[in-house]
């Protein structure tokens, strides 16, 4: 039995996986084009489609003689994520980080200290702007209980715990950098 370590990268253009053995030798690789739904300058993806693709690419990368996967690491776009309800069910599509949909005006009006607290410029890039836009345009998101970055979403779908990784969280606009915790004012603004 071959012990493998699997890395998955949920990228903007491709979703990739690589499996290496204990000596660091590549034993398998796989990748697919990210299947964004594109229309009118917007891009998003169904969270189930994203998770299914990640699993498919991961399985293809570990095709070896009876492999045993000892560890999995996942990385990806921090600003893009999945808004879920209390049962971890998606409530809306995952909007691409570069998609211009977002409510930066509400952030600027309601969170004057946004840049100081988060270290980010006010704009449509941070997840908070996308989430505010979703809350305004998609009534189902009122049931939201949690936001997973795409990497965290893939980990959840692979059976991992819902743990937020700080370097990903720092790009969402939802993290108080100095406190190294969720920013209460952003959570309050989302309701």
| Whole-number pLDDT of residue 65 | 67
Mean pLDDT value of segment 90-101: 97
The mean pLDDT value of the chain amounts to: 94
Q: How many CB atoms neighbour CB 66 within 10 A?
A: 6
| Whole-number pLDDT of residue 165 | 86
Any idea where the domains of the chain sit in the sequence? 2-190
Instruction: Give the residue from 153, 135, 129 showing the smallest Cα distance to 49.
Output: 153
Mean pLDDT value of segment 127-151: 95
Q: Candidates 1.10.645.10, 3.30.420.40, 3.40.50.300, 3.30.930.10; correct CATH number of 2-190?
A: 3.30.420.40
| Whole-number pLDDT of residue 67 | 83
Instruction: Give the residue from 146, 16, 3 showing the smallest Cα distance to 74.
Output: 16
Q: How many CB atoms neighbour CB 175 within 10 A?
A: 25
With vertex at residue 97, the alpha carbon angle to CA 93 and CA 98, rounded to the nearest 5 degrees, is 115
């Amino acid at each position: 039995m071959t012990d493998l370590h699997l890395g998955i990268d949920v990228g903007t253009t491709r979703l990739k996986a690589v499996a290496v053995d204990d000596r660091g030798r590549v034993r398998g690789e796989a990748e697919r084009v990210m299947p964004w739904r594109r229309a009118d300058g917007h891009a998003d993806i169904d969270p189930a489609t994203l998770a299914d693709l990640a699993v498919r690419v991961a399985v293809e990368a570990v095709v070896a003689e009876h492999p045993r996967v000892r560890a999995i690491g996942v990385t990806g776009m921090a600003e893009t994520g999945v808004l879920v309800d209390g049962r971890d069910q998606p409530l809306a599509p995952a909007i691409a980080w570069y998609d211009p949909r977002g409510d930066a005006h509400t952030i600027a009006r309601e969170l004057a200290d946004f840049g100081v607290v988060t270290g980010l410029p006010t704009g449509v890039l941070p997840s908070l702007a996308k989430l505010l836009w979703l809350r305004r345009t998609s009534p189902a998101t009122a049931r939201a209980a949690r936001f997973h970055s795409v990497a965290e979403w893939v980990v959840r779908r692979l059976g991992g715990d819902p743990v937020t990784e700080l370097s990903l969280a720092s790009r969402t606009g939802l993290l108080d950098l100095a406190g190294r915790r969720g920013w209460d004012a952003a959570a309050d603004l989302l309701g």
